[in-house]
Amino acid sequence: MTADPRPLVVLAGHIHPEAEAHLSASARVAVVAELTEARVVEAARDAQGILVRGGPRCGERLLRACPRLRVIGRHGVGLDTVDLGAATRLGVAVVHAPGSNSQAVAEHALMLMLACAKRARTIDRRTRAGDWSARHVVENVELGGRTLGILGIGNVGRRVARFAAALGMRVLAYDPYVTADEIRRRGAEPVPSLEALLPEVDVLTCHTPLTDETRHLINAKALTLLKPGAIFVNTSRGPVQSEPALLEALRSGRLAAAGLDVFEQEPSPLDNPLFNLDNVLCSTHVAGVTQEAHRIAGFQVIDEMLRVLRGERPHVLANPEVWPRPASPR
Would 329 be classed as within a structural domain? no
Would 328 be classed as within a structural domain? no
Tell me: do 84 and 186 sit in the same domain.
Answer: no
Tell me: do 157 and 301 sit in the same domain.
Answer: no
Would 223 be classed as within a structural domain? yes
Which DSSP helix (H) or strand (E) runs through 273?
none
Would 171 be classed as within a structural domain? yes
Q: Please report the pLDDT score of residue 327 as a whole number.
A: 45
Q: Please report the pLDDT score of residue 1 as a whole number.
A: 53
**Hey, which residues are catalytic here?**
237, 266, 285
Tell me: do 170 and 84 sit in the same domain.
Answer: no
Q: What is the mean pLDDT of each run of 10 residues along the chain (330 residues)?
A: 84 93 96 91 95 88 95 88 93 94 97 97 94 89 98 97 98 98 98 98 96 96 96 97 98 96 96 96 95 95 96 95 68
Would 257 be classed as within a structural domain? yes
Tell me: do 18 and 121 sit in the same domain.
Answer: no
**DSSP reduced 3-state for 32:** strand
Distance (Å, whole) CA 42 – CA 30: 11
What's the CATH number where 58 sits? 3.40.50.720
The predicted model scores a pTM of 0.89
Would 1 be classed as within a structural domain? no
Tell me: do 28 and 86 sit in the same domain.
Answer: yes
Distance (Å, whole) CA 183 – CA 180: 5
Tell me: do 210 and 263 sit in the same domain.
Answer: yes
Tell me: do 188 and 296 sit in the same domain.
Answer: no
Cβ-Cβ contacts under 8 Å for 80 (sequence gap 6 or more):
209, 210, 237
Would 259 be classed as within a structural domain? yes
For 223, the domain range is: 102-282
Q: Please report the pLDDT score of residue 2 as a whole number.
A: 61
What total number of domains does the chain contain? 2
Q: Please report the pLDDT score of residue 77 as a whole number.
A: 81
Q: Please report the pLDDT score of residue 176 as a whole number.
A: 96
Tell me: do 65 and 126 sit in the same domain.
Answer: no
Tell me: do 303 and 212 sit in the same domain.
Answer: no
Tell me: do 116 and 182 sit in the same domain.
Answer: yes
